[in-house]
Amino acid sequence: MASATDDLKRELPHIIVLAILVFILLFVVTKFKWVSCTDVPGDWCSVYCSVAGNSRVGIIEGEGGIGNSNEFAKQITKNRIFTYAESLPINGISAGVLKKYELVIMEGAKRIRPVQVNALKDYVSTGGSLLWVGDAGTEHYLSEGDIGDALYRNESNPGYYEDVVKKVNRTKGFGDSISQILQIDYLRTEEGNNLTLTIISKDHAVSKGLNREFTINAKQLAVVNSRSGDSSVLAYAYGTKSCTKEKPCPAIIVNRYTAPVAYVAFPIEEGGSKSLITNLMDYLVTC
């Protein structure tokens, strides 16, 4: 009659294989952000990050717009030891450059060219996570290089230049490409005092642990409309001309494109909440 020890010895290889398969499964679903490492019991975040290594986050720098991307980068680095945040000049971005990052952040970069919109769209379409802040990417323009290229193409394709100029002039707010990714439409940016954030969903990873209502330090708020049921409004804000306590405006909106996407209507570094920054990073980037 076999002893319990003999049975255990026979089953040990199967147990080891099962453990390896479970580890691989957890690694894959965490890597592709189907689950957050914080959702797994135990110290899975440390285990995963020790294997996967530091996450790279690119914060795009540009002209105009609300928010301070350099300050936000400092706060990210301070609060997340596994995350490496670095600035990316908007004029240097391309699909090839962006694919090196697990998360790309657009803040304080109001002016944007069509080629940059396309690079961001390609990045998200291939599984990159995106965090968009305030009125970033709402002033569309053509550079001298873009105009020169359009004029050159116009020689073999008459009307090309005029079509490009008309398209840029007609583009308002985020434009169709970015609005489809974020699932929101930008209306305007308003000044405010004693802006108040009201959390309406306490169950989501981004809003967990936050007070139901608290004042934020931001002085400006982007007024936006949620586009469809494919996105979730996690928080509203009031304290501006249009955004009142009786009729607050969407302030934190999330959805899943090919990977998690989040939009925040105010500068996050002025929100006065370390928990919000930590939650956003946990939701969008693993380590």
The answer to whether residue 283 scores a pLDDT higher than 60 is: yes
Q: What is the mean pLDDT of residues 251-259?
A: 92
Higher pLDDT, 230 or 133: 133
Structure tokens given for 172: 């308002």
Q: How many CB atoms lie within 10 A of CB 95?
A: 15
**What are the DSSP E strand ranges found in 40-102?**
55-61, 83-89
The highest-level CATH class for domain 54-138+173-284 is alpha beta
Supply the DSSP symbol for 75. Answer: H
Residue 149 carries which side chain, given as an amino acid letter? D
Tell me the per-residue pLDDT of 32-82, one tens digit each, with 9 for 90 and over: 767 767 677 777 777 777 676 678 899 999 988 999 988 998 898 887 877
Q: Which of 270, 259, 260 is nearest to 251 (CA)?
A: 270
Supply the DSSP symbol for 37. Answer: G
Measured CA to CA, the distance from residue 275 to residue 145 in angstroms comes to: 43
Domain residue ranges in the chain? 8-48, 54-138+173-284
